[in-house]
Each structure stands twice: as C-alpha cells, then as structure tokens.
Amino acid sequence: MLDIYIDGDACPVKDEVLKVAGRHGLQVLFVSNRWSRKVDAPNVRQVVVTEGFDAADNWIADNIGEGDIAITADIPLASRCLKAGAMVLGPTGRPFTEHSIGMALAMRDLNTHLRETGEIKGYNASFTKADRSRFLGELEKLIQQRRKDGR
C-alpha cells in the first residue's frame, strides 16, 4: 500500500496532498513536533513526536517504506527516504532522486558554510502559485508511476 508521509511542521502544501490523496484513497501521515489543526478525514493520521532535534525526521525515516512517498524540503531527510526505497518530492514540486540527491546535499553544505562565514546571507524564496501547481502535477505523476509499477 502506498502511503504519503509529510514532514509537517512547515509544509505549505498540506491541503494539496489531502486533495490528491483523497482522490486516490491513499493514507496520509502528518509527522510533526506539535499538534496542528485537526483534519477530519479517515485517510489521515497525525503523528506527533517528542520534542527534539530531528525527531520528526527520524520517525519518518524509520517508518517510511519502499513504494511510499515523502513530502519534505529537508534534504538530509530526503536522502534517508530515498535509501529506504521511497520517492521524495519537495513542496515546490522538485523531485529528489538518486541522481540528484548528491548534488542537493553538496549545495546545502556549501550554502551553510557560506552563510556561516558571512559570504552570503540566508535567503528563502517565497512560495508561489506556480510552485503549488508544479507540486500538484508532480505528486499526481508520482502516484500514477507507483500504481503503474504495481505498488
């Protein structure tokens, strides 16, 4: 069974995931460090982990399985999910793959270093309607691919 795991503390596409998952009858697991708004749907499970650095990430990585889909912007978590055989999609619709994750990790580390040394300032691009639209298309594509593969 295909499940969708959401790294839920700062995910801007929760409603979109619920819409697509509901259409396909898929289970959604919102994993976070605190309770968020109650979603009244039979296919949704909210998992609240203990406080602590990476507790939600660790729960997802420990529970996600082959054929599942993870929704996260966290690159190290994306890498761990890929190693477990899951497909990973960022909230902007950017898929993480075995081929792209190495470069994503390297760029993350480089940008962290440059911010720490003052060479660059922190910058997070705003989330756009185009990001939301791209996400919906990519999530649908991942689900269709998994179904075609017989999962």
pLDDT, greater one: 51 or 60: 60
Structural domains in the chain plus CATH codes = 3-148 (3.40.50)
Torsion sign, CA atoms 150, 139, 82, 68: negative
- In angstroms, the CA 28 to CA 6 distance is 7
pLDDT band at 82 (very low <50, low <70, confident <90, very high): very high
pLDDT at 91: 93
Q: Which phi and psi angles does 4 have, rounded to 5°? A: -115, 120
Q: Give the model confidence (pLDDT) of 14-55 as tens digits.
A: 999 999 999 999 999 999 988 777 677 889 999 999 878 889
Q: Give the model confidence (pLDDT) of 122-132 as tens digits.
A: 666 788 999 99
Q: Give the model confidence (pLDDT) of 100-143 as tens digits.
A: 776 766 765 666 667 778 777 766 678 899 999 999 999 999 99
- Give how far Cα 4 sits from Cα of 66, 95, 112, 113, 119, Å: 11, 14, 29, 32, 38
Contacts for 45-53 with beta carbons within 8 Å, 24 or more apart?
46/8
pLDDT at 151: 58
pLDDT at 46: 92
- In angstroms, the CA 37 to CA 4 distance is 18
- In angstroms, the CA 51 to CA 108 distance is 24
pLDDT at 98: 80
pLDDT, greater one: 114 or 92: 92
Question: Identity (one letter) of the amino acid at 35?
Answer: W
pLDDT at 12: 92
Question: Identity (one letter) of the amino acid at 18?
Answer: L
